Structures are given as C-alpha cells and as structure tokens.
Amino acid sequence: MYAIIKTGGKQYPVSVGDILKVEKLEASEGDEITLDDVLLVSSPDSIVIGSPQVPNASVRARILGHGKADKVVIMKKKRRTGYKVKRGHRQPYTTIEIQEVIA
C-alpha cells in the first residue's frame, strides 16, 4: 500500500517500512505518532484521491530520532561599501519510520 502524506508544509510519498526525515515534530524518541493529513491512498486494486484529504485514512509512524541538517551558509555583500554579512542555518528534523498505512 502506498500513500502521500502532508507534514511540515511538505508532501511525502510513503509506504510501510520507509524511513523519512521530516520537519521537526514535538514528540519523544520511540513514540508512536499518527499522521492524519493523507492526500492519496493507493492499493493494488484502487486509488483514492482526497479533496483535500482522504476521509478515515491515516499513517502510523514511529519516531527514530531528532537531529539537525548540514549547515547552509548565507553570504551577502555589496561592492565598494565594506558591507559583508555571513550567516549560517541548520534546520532541525525528525527521522520517522512508517509502520502502517490505514485506509
């Protein structure tokens, strides 16, 4: 079974056993979570497309851990004025494993 879920403002295609890095979720490591924003569910015999969500569908996942992505360096410079700015950003993420797709 295959589904498309929405979390953190992004859409992810998932199936059972997939491991994803999604925007940070407020839950502890090892917790079971339920993702209710299911946009599409596909089984071997049918496809159900939600408008905007599939009713009574959800995805159960387990949180494997939290982390930060690699640093992205932001540079700004204006010529001949001595203006230079260097900033960095590390986006926090949560690693989840898909346990079950319920439709």
Residue 81 gets the label, from left (phi > 0), alpha (psi -120 to 50) or beta, of: alpha
Predicted pLDDT at 1: 85
pLDDT digits (tens, 9 = 90+) for 83-101: 999 999 999 999 999 999 9
Predicted pLDDT at 50: 86
pTM metric for this prediction:
0.81
Sign of the dihedral through C-alpha 55, 60, 65, 69: negative
Q: Region 1-7: what's the mean pLDDT? A: 91
Cβ pair 38, 52 in contact under 8 A: no
pLDDT digits (tens, 9 = 90+) for 19-72: 999 999 999 999 999 999 999 999 889 998 988 889 999 999 999 999 999 999
